[in-house]
Amino acid sequence: MTASSASLEEQNRVDSAETQNPQAIGNDSLNETNSRAANLNSWNKNSNFWDTTLGEGNDMFTQLILPTIEELAEVQPHHRVLDLGTGNGINLMI
């Protein structure tokens, strides 16, 4: 584990602890709202780390994942693709 990933894991634990609401125990709707807020808060706090670390992709992405996505998606020049919620938009390179 690198220092950056250890720091990220610690921040995620802090984020999760900050958003827990003891009064929400047993209330599924409120628990789901808190969970979504915790996820959004965590992603927002860590977005700079992910953009800096992943940027234009790493070797695994560019050599393995991207070619696989291209093959499976069968995107042609005249096709339009909608990328929803897949991270920092790196898949737009296809």
44 and 60 share a domain? no
31 contacts: CB under 8 Å, gap ≥ 6 = 24, 25
State the Cα angle at 43 between 40 and 49, rounded to 5°: 165
Q: How confident is the model at residue 25 (pLDDT cuts 50, 70, 90)?
A: low
Q: What is the number of structural domains in the chain? A: 2
Range of 5's domain?
1-54
Kindly state the tokens that stand for 7. Answer: 């720091």
What is the arithmetic mean of pLDDT over 47-64? 78
Spatial distance between the Cα atoms of 45 and 10, rounded to a whole number of angstroms: 12
5 and 24 share a domain? yes
Would the pLDDT of 26 be above 60?
no
pTM above 0.85, yes or no: no
Least confident of 13-27, 35-49, 66-80: 13-27
